[in-house]
Amino acid sequence: MAEMILTVEDLTVRREGVNAVEEVSFSLAPQTDTALVGPNGAGKSSLVKALLGLIPHQGGSVQLLGQRLGPQGQLPPAVRAQVAYMPQSFAVPPRFPLSVAEFVALGWDGPRRPRGAVAEALAKVTASALAERLLSELSGGEIQRVLLAFCLVRPRRLLVLDEAQAGLDAQGAERFYLLLQELRRREGLTILQVSHDLEMVRRSCDRVLCLNRRLRCSGPPAHALSPAQLELVYGKGYVPYHHHHH
C-alpha cells in the first residue's frame, strides 16, 4: 500500500482559549483530491494552518510525508519544500511594481532555481502570456492561476488550498477546478481544499471531510454530501447554496 501523504490523529487546536478543532483524525492517500467543508467558524482554516505547522496544535499528531510535525509546527525543510499552500485571500497593492514572472520566481524558496522553472510553471497553468504583466493589473481569475504557478514552480507533492476559488464567478470557478484536476493528473499532486461550493465538490473531489469543530462525517461525495449528513454538519433546515454551472 502506498504511504499516506498526510496522517492526522486526534488533532486538537485551541485558539483564544477555545477548542477550534477537536480530536480530528483522517489521512490523505497519494494523488487524491479531498474537500474540507463545513459552516463558517467550524475550524476549517485552523485545521489547515495546524496541518501546515503555521499555528501550533495542542493535542494529537500530524505526519506529513512520513515525518511527524513538532507541536510548534517544526518540519524538516526537505518535507516543507514538497508542500504548497494557497491562502484564501491575496490582495495585491495597486501599482505594486512586481511582474508575474518575478512573483512566480519567489515561489522557489530553496537553492538555485533552474533556468526555465518560471516559464514552465506559467505554462502549466496556461498563464505564459501573463509573464511580463504587472501583478496589480490582473483579474481575479488570472491572479488565481498565477498563485498556482507560484505554488508549483518547484516540484510539490501536496497542494493545500483555502477557498482558492472564493471571489471567482461560476465560470471562473469551473475553469479553476478543471485546471486543478488536470494538474493533479499531470503532476501527481495530492490536493486538500477548503471549499464552500458543494456542487463543485460533488463533481470533482474524491472525498469529503465534513467539519464542525469535530469531524462529523467523511467519505465519497455521494455519502458525505447527502441531505442527512449535511444536516449533521450545518444544522437542521440547511439548504445548500447552488451555483448554476453551465
Q: Determine the pLDDT at residue 110.
A: 76
Percent of the chain clearing pLDDT 90 (strictly above): 76
Query: What residue ranges define each of the domains in the chain, with the CATH number in brackets?
Result: 1-82+157-246 (3.40.50.300), 90-154 (no CATH)
Lowest mean pLDDT among 141-155, 174-188, 229-243: 229-243
- pLDDT score for 241: 58
Confidence band (pLDDT; 50, 70, 90) for 112? confident
Q: Which of 211, 86, 104, 218 is nearest to 160 (CA)?
A: 86
pLDDT tens track for 39-62: 999 999 999 999 999 999 999 999
Mean pLDDT of the chain: 91
Lowest mean pLDDT among 49-53, 105-109, 197-201, 234-238: 234-238
Residues 20, 211, 72: CA angle, nearest 5 degrees: 40
How confident is the model at residue 1, as a pLDDT?
Answer: 60
18: left (phi over 0), alpha (psi -120 to 50) or beta: beta
Which grid cell sits at 214? 469535530
Cβ atoms of residues 208 and 224 within 8 Å = yes
Q: Residues 90-112: what's their mean pLDDT?
A: 89
Could you give the C-alpha distances from 7 to 22, 47, 87, 123, 150, in angstroms and in order?
A: 16, 13, 21, 32, 26
Confidence band (pLDDT; 50, 70, 90) for 94? confident
Region 68-85: mean pLDDT is 89
Where is pLDDT greater, at 99 or 1? 99
Residue 88 has pLDDT above 90, yes or no: no
* 95 has a pLDDT exceeding 90: no
Q: Which of the four pLDDT bands, split at 50, 70 and 90, describes residue 246?
A: very low
pLDDT bracket for residue 109 (50, 70, 90): confident
Please tell me the predicted confidence (pLDDT) of residue 92.
86
Average pLDDT over residues 86-113: 88
Res 74 pLDDT > 90: no
Model pLDDT, residue 72: 83
pLDDT in tens, 176-229: 999 999 999 999 999 999 999 999 999 999 999 999 999 999 999 999 999 999
